[in-house]
Amino acid sequence: MAYSSITKPTDHFNTVLYTGNGNTNLAVTGVEFQPDWVWIKARTTADYNHMLFDAVRGATKYVKSDTNSAENTLAETLKSFDSDGFTLGNQAYTVNDNTIPFASWNWLAAGTTPSQTYTVKVVSDGGNKYRFDDYGTSAVTLDLQEGGTYTFDGSDSSMASHPIKLSETSNGTHGGGSSYNTGVTYQLDGSSVTESAYVSGYSSASSRKLIITVAASAPTLYYYCHYHSGMGGQVNTNSTHGSSNFSGSMQANVSVNTTAGFSVATFTASGSGDESFGHGLGAKPKVMFLKSRSNSGSWGVYHENTDASAPEDDYLNLNGTAAKADLAGVFGAGMTSSVAGVGVGVGFTSGHTYVGYCFAEKKGFSKFGSYVGNNSTDGTFIYTGFKPAWVLLKIYSGTTGAWTLFDNKRDPFNEVDNRLFPDTYGAESDGNDCDFLSNGFKHRTTGSGTNGNGYSYIYMAFAENPFVANDSGTAVPVTAR
């Protein structure tokens, strides 16, 4: 078994079923956390799109997995992300049609209290300017999340004469304003100090930090130098989720759950060639879904298992049934533990805005791999190391075929046969497709959709019941703890 440190998978991912009522303010509960990504689909009725919402773009904004259309905004769709789920408006034919059963799949990213550290330096760029994490542009606009705690580490020697502070006024005291201190802590050499001691002792300290926990409804802020004007920039304090990430060639706004290996990133393309954005996972992503928000364009799906040597040159479309396509550099230089590559193809265009959903594999909680079908009712067994709660798969070589999605809430018992298809707005269909087993899943059907003879498939799976070590070091399932 794949022993996991995640003792409760539903703290990070959960499927919740609900029935629409056609009214405003339908509260869907039972998620067990405030979700950062919510994927909703009507089960029994055709012509209802797959609706994808996330807390980084903000409530009411959605993209659809089954079309190439740009992001849209409707006030009466998903109206808010709540502590135990989400609230829906009265938008029929999407998320809340009366008496219609829906499935929702929910993931946690950073949640409501992210924490991040930025390394601050001073560079000469038309005069001295602050620069974060050695990003290639100075005095950038920052995005910080309300409720988040952010550390601005000014310990670099270039900062010695430039104490960084915050203000509600552009350029701070040089612009006629005053310092902003709500939720702010000043630290020198690991100890909290007053603002005046922070300034007077700044140059001689070895460790210099300004730490802010962003208050609810905090105003737009500006970072500035106590002594010198023109060095800083703006700080957006957002009720939506996400924080500025400078790891890639493009500045991104990222909400990340490193424990579960999931992040949501938004960014604006700065070029049409080999670019990258920071995903924040701290581990190499194995799967990424990428979609243009501002313009129509097919989804680009990266999966590490489409090619053993160069998966960055392969892509799939979430909104289509085609087999994998080969296009050199479609995902730039590929994936690393800090950045996701984006290159030519799949609608990547300078100036367009994008959203990316990135996944790193976490032993015992998630598994992303591939298998070869055998066209038998005694079908291929796919090892995950846990009992699955959710499986998404697609044929990628041999022929075309739909994306197929199973979960343990629509089918709490084997055989798992209620299928939804992310590339189409069609209704749920059934067929004796597979069993969810204690350490994987096994196909119980013939046919190219999930188990064609000799055909190759990729999959994603998340755990219902992982195994963890008890106090004596013996592995036991979570349900036995």
* pLDDT, tens only, 223-246: 999 999 999 999 999 999 999 999
Residue-level pLDDT at 274: 86
Q: What percent of the chain has pLDDT over 70?
A: 96
Residue-level pLDDT at 329: 87
List the 72-73 sheet strands across, edge first.
13-19, 101-107, 37-42, 51-54, 61-64, 72-73
Architecture of domain 11-107: Sandwich (2.60)
Residue-level pLDDT at 473: 45
Judge whether 22 and 381 are in contact, CB under 8 Å: no
Residue-level pLDDT at 470: 46
Residues 18-39: pLDDT tens digits?
A: 999 999 899 999 999 999 999 9
Neighbours of 180 (CB within 10 A): 20
Residue-level pLDDT at 478: 53
Residue-level pLDDT at 305: 96
**Closest C-alpha to 36, from 215, 280, 320:** 280
Domain boundaries, the chain: 11-107, 115-236, 244-359, 366-469
What predicted TM-score, i.e. pTM, was given to this entire model? 0.95
Would the pLDDT of 174 be above 50?
yes
State both tokens at 297.
């364009």
Would the pLDDT of 153 be above 90?
yes
Residue-level pLDDT at 476: 54
With a CB cutoff of 8 Å and minimum separation 6, the contacts of 447 are 375
| Lowest-pLDDT choice from 20-24, 121-125, 206-210 | 20-24
Confidence of residue 93 (pLDDT cuts 50, 70, 90): confident
163 DSSP assignment: -
State both tokens at 408.
């343990």
Q: What rounded mean pLDDT belongs to the chain?
A: 94
| Lowest-pLDDT choice from 59-73, 97-111, 142-156, 336-350 | 336-350
Distance CA 260, CA 81 (A): 19
Residue-level pLDDT at 474: 52
Judge whether 385 and 367 are in contact, CB under 8 Å: yes
> Looking at per-residue confidence, does 5 or 229 come out higher?
229
β-strands 233-238, 142-145 pairing? parallel
Mean pLDDT of 136-161: 98
Confidence of residue 249 (pLDDT cuts 50, 70, 90): very high
Residues 345-378: pLDDT tens digits?
A: 777 888 999 999 999 999 999 999 999 999 999 9
Q: What percent of the chain has pLDDT over 90?
A: 87
Distance CA 26, CA 23 (A): 7
> Looking at per-residue confidence, does 68 or 431 come out higher?
68
The CATH number of the structural domain formed by 115-236 is 2.60.40
Distance CA 184, CA 481 (A): 42
Q: What is the DSSP string of 37-103?
A: EEEEEESS-SS---EEEETTT-TTEEEETTS-PPPEE-TTSEEEEETTEEEE-S-TTTT--TT-EEE
Confidence of residue 388 (pLDDT cuts 50, 70, 90): very high
Residues 320-330: pLDDT tens digits?
A: 999 999 988 89
